[in-house]
Amino acid sequence: MKQRKNMSDIKLGCHVGMAGKDMFLASAREAASYGANVFMLYTGAPQNTRRKEIFELNIDAGWEYAHEHGINEIVVHAPYIINLANTVKPETYELAVEFLEKEIVRTAAMKSRILVLHPGSHVNAGEQAGIAQIVKGLNTVLNQNDDDVFIALETMAGKGSEIGRSFEELKAIYDGVDRKERLRVCFDTCHVNDAGYDIVNHYDEVFAEFDRVIGLEQIAVFHVNDSLNPLGAHKDRHANIGKGTIGYDTLHRLVHDETFANVPKILETPWLCEESSAKKTIPPYKEEIEWLLK
């Protein structure tokens, strides 16, 4: 895979917040302060269903500021509380379907075409049951929604009973969904490392395998994270760029890979602590974005 020569058009950014009265405008300001030209956000807290009304999100002002600062694309991440794979608690599954429907509408209202979704956890019911339940939920949602939004299933590290620890599990979801043209993949570098895919020593081979199973064109967004854990640990603990077992060289290679020139690349690396403090109060994104663009 070829490396890019022109770095100005690399789509690189990070996860930012959305809060206060400014809401989306605050998100755009934060992203611009890091030198990002794309960013990702939640439409509300990822751990609960409390959401402001769409008219309160300050979308138009946010986009005006974003465009002025060279940001023309955003990614939305669905909240963690959505678990389409749950067959054990019907109320959890029903909440997941209902809330995913709302998140698609909110994503479209925010003028994003990508909604990243953790496939879900089967809660010890088994992979087949979990995948079947995810397929059922996605069909319920997508068959009655015509918004121009892709559901990007995230590659997972495989901790606990997570679905999506292998490319084949994601492909099984694709195979069962009626409107599979509405599906895409979010490729998380930390997660694939922790799932056992060696992108450090076998970069080309891993992406060739993904291409064979699903297709490289299905990757709609990358989460660019180093990993605190060794290959195949199934832990999912992000590290700052160059501070983990994946390392700077591999992540730099991905960011500059011409194959993925048009794919947004989002940093989700941990915030840093001030000296002699245990509180993580310093965002690393400005420095990491600059370093990765070198």
CA of residue 99 relative to chain centroid, distance: 18
Could you tell me which residues are annotated as the binding site for Zn(2+)? 77, 118, 154, 188, 191, 223, 236, 238, 268
Residue 92 has pLDDT above 80, yes or no: yes
- What the block records as the tokens of 68 is 């002025």
- What the block records as the tokens of 235 is 């832990």
108-142 pLDDT per residue, tens:
999 999 999 999 999 999 999 999 999 999 999 99
Could you tell me which residues are annotated as the binding site? 77, 118, 154, 188, 191, 223, 236, 238, 268
Task: List, as own/partner pairs, every contact residues 169-175 make where C-beta atoms lie below 8 angstroms and the sequence separation is at least 24, other chains included.
Answer: 169/119, 169/127, 169/131, 170/119, 170/213, 170/214, 171/213, 171/214, 172/131, 173/119, 173/131, 173/134, 173/135, 173/138, 174/214
For the chain, domains (ranges, CATH) are 12-293 (3.20.20.150)
Q: Give, as one character, the DSSP assignment of residue 280.
A: E
Q: What is the pLDDT of residue 1?
A: 66
Which pLDDT band, with edges at 50, 70 and 90, does 6 fall under?
Answer: low
Cross-strand bridge partners of residue 115: 76, 151
pTM over 0.85: yes
Helices 90-109 + 127-142 axis angle, to 10: 40
